[in-house]
A and B are shown apart, each in its own frame.
Chain A
Amino acid sequence: MSVTESATASATVGENLLEMRGITKSFFGVTVLDDVDIDCRPGEVHALLGENGAGKSTLMKILSGAHQPDGGTILLDGEEVSFGHPRDAQAKGVSIMYQEFNLLPERTVAQNIYLGREPHRGPIVDQGAMERSTAELLATLDAAGSIRPGSVVRNLSVAQQQTVEIAKALSFRSKILVMDEPTAALSPHEVVSLFERVRLLRARGVGILYISHRLGEIFEIAQRVTVLKDGRRVGTLDVAATTPRQLVRMMVGRELDHYFPPHAVPAEIGQTRLVVHGGGVAGKLHDIDLTVRTGEIVGIGGLAGSGRTELAQALFGVRPFDAGTVELDGKPIRIRSPRQAVRRRMGFVTEDRKVEGLVLLLSVRDNSLLALRSLGSWLRRGAGGPVSIRDLLRSLDLRGAGLDQEVRYLSGGNQQKVVLAKWLASQAQVLIFDEPTRGIDVGAKAGIHELMRELARAGGAILMISSELPELVGMSDRILVMREGAIAGELASDASEDAIMLLATGEHDTVSVA
């Protein structure tokens, strides 16, 4: 579908450290990688770019042996390899820093970093050596002060955990290093020291595959960039020979303008719905003040770990506020559990569909009725309800799935639509979206954006957490930016992405585009 620009800078075979050819992969019948090629040379940083759900992480998980490809070949130093287990990949000198945290909360930093390859004398793990080399690693990341090798990961902040992930990836001293969004939760000066490491590794001839949504970073350290879209390779370019605008077009397949539905006009915005004064959650959030009115979408931006999900969880009673007051339609309320929130016609589209949004074993119908049923009496006969689920899902344009299809067989986008159906069926008036389009393909993404806007127009009050700046800017009528558990500031819908990053980091940062 999308034009494949001539892969100008493709290297001649032989000098490549790594070649992945014709990689194909599908999950539950949904193809997420389709005949993808990528290679990497010694001492090169090869960036991998693409929208959420484009397949970047999956491709890298195949390289690291976490997933097995349905088709395609992997060549290391020209010889074909196949990784049945991550250990095989490690043995061949491929190490990866995963996007989602892969640390054991109950274990120490050192134990996590050397998990699976503990230094040992004879049969005995050399704890001392382990902690010493951990300390050295952390020192190279300027983190020796803040993180002890012996401290239990559970007690670390998200940013610190991110740093540990990096230290772990570096500790492999491997030929190929994959970094999947390493800077998502880092503050700029942490990013700087990370890049120093990366340059040192390049000098040592390590090949680095680097995934990031921040174009600025790519232009700073990458030599080549491959763009993925909907699981296909759009093209590979020399960074020197391209521009952010070109990359964005390759990623999105269209110009960014006239992509999001129009913002709310003042007339559409009605009375105040939800108000929080000085809301706080011990150790997580403090001094939260916010207001959401009918008809408007309030965006919440910030770095990962800035407390956005906690805020959503506090509002919805998952981990309730222990300080401050909340008002709904002018009346002070206390929401101590999600159940109470649902009974007040609130809805929460969570960050992680599979874990928090859906019962994968149940059918589309049953998932759509989840919230509605929780409101009904126990003995009422199962199906139905005031709204017809069939019509509802038709209006959501849920393709390729019958009502009795188990949701685990749906694509990410369709799954997200079922989550929406759940809240529409329960006629939720105040809706919180946490990363509503994470891992969802462009088409479905536009559909979901349309729906959110329609909900607002229909008098809904919407709070939208997003890590995607374009989405934030494109969808929000107002933007709140969080930093370290507090609201750092509020911006108008026409705010620039720099302005958001500036508030999010509290200092100047490289410009980032989706």
Chain B
Amino acid sequence: MTAPRMALPGGPPGAWARALRTGLGSANAAPVYLVLLVIFVVSWVIVGLAGGSFLTVENVTSVLVRSVALGIVSAGQTLVILAGSLDLSVAYVISVAAVVSSVIMNGDPGRIVIAVVVVLGIGVAVGLTNGLLVTKLRVNPFIATLGVALVLRGLLNAAFDNFAGKVAPQFETLGYGGIGPLPWSVILLVVTVLAVWWLLRSTPFGHHLYAVGGGEETARLSGVRSHRVIIGAHILCSLAAVLTGLFLVSRIRSGAPWIGPDGGYDLESIAAVVVGGTALTGGRGGVWGTLAGVLILAVLDNLFNQLQFNSFLKDVVRGVIIIAAVAIYAQRQRRMSR
């Protein structure tokens, strides 16, 4: 039964996988990192042969920076999916955060704080709405968050149809500045992931999240207030989307209502989470896996750029990788449940 843990080439023996798993606190994180490793090495070789540079500081930072936006929102998405829900509204929350913050700041450094506070407030409100729809009104999360997405989209486009406002120059350092070679944005990503990891691993909320996702009734009978947990997860997810929005607006200087949807952050974040080995049914997985999922997509991005691969072909490869990864986890999960 411990036989071949992975259907992947170069998969190390169970012991290593187990070590990884305990280290990463997620039954499925191990294979994800192996997938990442394989893709990384393969890309390295290919780019090397193509005479490009892959393992340079510039390139690695570039890959990391490309992971920031999707990484942060996916970290939030991980929470709702672990709770057995999902969130299709993140793309528009991102846009709202970007536009509103840039409008409030309007170039004035003095208003950075208030802008950030306000958009975080909006995040809480949206998350709360999603959570209440899902728990109290028992609306299927797919429909609930899709509906909220449509509403946000409408309000957003009705109020802002173009670049709005302007961020304070200092705020741009979030998007472009850094300590030495290490960009602030990457630090923000790492901090977010660490925070979510800590939350899941060390706080009662995190434990309850896994419990509710793994079996809401069981959790309820054990005294967990499952609705509060689900609502909390949705709030945190929206907050993560807000952070992404802030990061993006710090890069584009002025809020653009299309920034979220154009990035496809709603479906992409869900894809990243499941590629990261978190079960769409909830209760199983973790944020490190998600980070790996995001990095996998970013490394591919980088590879395709360097080879000047047709960007449409990239979508095809992404599709295949997403399905393949999840298929592998599914087989593995079935083996373990026997």
Contact = CB atoms under 8 A, between A and B. Distances in A.
Given a CB threshold of 8 Å, the question of whether A touches B is answered with: yes
Interface stretch (A42-50, A110-118, A220-228, A249-257): A110-118
A11 B27 CA distance: 53
Contacts of B283: 104, 106
A64 B221 CA distance: 8
In this complex, which of B204, B206, B211, B223 has the most chain A Cβ atoms within 10 angstroms of its Cβ? B223
B298 to A, nearest CB: 29
Contacts of B310: none
Interface stretch (A83-91, A394-402, A435-443, A499-507): A83-91
B225 A87 contact: yes
A111 B207 contact: yes
Interface stretch (A22-30, A119-127, A291-299): A119-127
A85 B225 contact: yes
Interface string B196-221: 00000011101110110011001111
A104 B218 contact: yes
In this complex, which of B27, B208, B218, B222 has the most chain A Cβ atoms within 10 angstroms of its Cβ? B222
Contacts of B215: 104
B202 A115 contact: no
In this complex, which of B203, B219, B221 has the most chain A Cβ atoms within 10 angstroms of its Cβ? B221
Given A104-B214, A105-B214, A111-B207, A116 B222 contact: yes
A85 B219 CA distance: 11
Given A86-B221, A90-B223, A154-B337, A104 B207 contact: no
A208 B54 CA distance: 68
Contacts of A103: 218
A102 B81 CA distance: 22
B153 interface: no
B284 interface: yes
A124 B202 contact: yes
A343 interface: no
A191 interface: no
In this complex, which of A64, A106, A117, A127 has the most chain B Cβ atoms within 10 angstroms of its Cβ? A106
A397 B262 CA distance: 63
A470 B207 CA distance: 44
A16 B139 CA distance: 44
A210 interface: no
A87 B204 CA distance: 15
Contacts of B211: 104, 107, 111, 115-116
A66 B221 contact: yes
A125 B221 contact: no
A98 B283 CA distance: 22
Contacts of B224: 87, 115-116
Nearest to B206: A125
A66 B211 CA distance: 17
Nearest to A172: B223
B222 A102 contact: yes
B202 A125 contact: yes
B207 A115 contact: yes
Given A87-B225, A106-B283, A107-B214, A115 B219 contact: yes
Q: Which range contains the number of A residues in contact with the other chain? A: 20 to 34
Contacts of B284: 106
Contacts of B223: 85-87, 90, 115-117
A103 B219 CA distance: 9
Contacts of B202: 123-125, 127
Given A115-B211, A118-B204, A102 B221 contact: yes
Contact of B221 (A98, A105, A123, A124): A98
A111 B211 CA distance: 9
Nearest to B215: A104
A106 B221 contact: no
Nearest to A123: B203
A107 B284 CA distance: 9
A116 B202 CA distance: 14
Contacts of A107: 210-211, 214
Contacts of B221: 64, 66, 86, 98, 102
A101 to B, nearest CB: 9
Contact of A106 (B1, B204, B214, B222): B214
Interface in B225-282: 225
Contacts of B337: 154
Contacts of B336: 154
A125 B207 CA distance: 9
A322 to B, nearest CB: 10
Contacts of A116: 208, 211, 219, 222-224
Given A85-B225, A87-B223, A125-B202, A102 B207 contact: no
A120 B225 CA distance: 17
A275 to B, nearest CB: 26
B218 A125 contact: no
A64 B203 CA distance: 26
Contacts of B214: 104-107
A336 to B, nearest CB: 15
A455 B336 CA distance: 39
A475 to B, nearest CB: 32
A308 to B, nearest CB: 18
Interface string A61-95: 00010100000000000000000011100100000
A279 to B, nearest CB: 17
Interface in A100-153: 102-107, 111-112, 115-118, 120, 123-125, 127
A124 B27 contact: no
Given A85-B225, A104-B211, A125 B219 contact: no
A99 B269 CA distance: 40
A380 B203 CA distance: 57
B203 A125 contact: yes
Contacts of A124: 202-203
Interface in B12-54: 27
Nearest to A116: B223
A106 B1 CA distance: 17
B293 to A, nearest CB: 19
B8 to A, nearest CB: 23
In this complex, which of A107, A127, A154 has the most chain B Cβ atoms within 10 angstroms of its Cβ? A107
A186 B208 CA distance: 29
Contacts of A98: 221
B144 to A, nearest CB: 22
A90 B221 CA distance: 10
Nearest to B226: A85
In this complex, which of A90, A116, A283 has the most chain B Cβ atoms within 10 angstroms of its Cβ? A116
A90 B219 CA distance: 13
A102 B218 contact: yes
Contact of A118 (B207, B218, B225): B207
B222 A115 contact: yes
Nearest to B204: A118
Nearest to A319: B338
Contacts of A105: 214
A86 B221 CA distance: 6
Nearest to A90: B223
A334 B312 CA distance: 48
A332 to B, nearest CB: 25
A120 B201 CA distance: 12
A106 B333 CA distance: 11
A106 B281 CA distance: 13
12 contacts: A66-B221, A102-B218, A103-B218, A105-B214, A106-B210, A115-B207, A115-B208, A123-B203, A125-B202, A125-B207, A127-B202, A282-B1
Interface of B: 1, 27, 202-204, 206-208, 210-211, 214-215, 218-225, 283-284, 336-338
Given A104-B283, A124-B203, 4 more contacts: A85-B225, A106-B27, A120-B204, A127-B202
4 A-B pairs with the lowest CB-CB distances in the bound complex, closest first = A116-B223, A87-B223, A115-B222, A104-B214
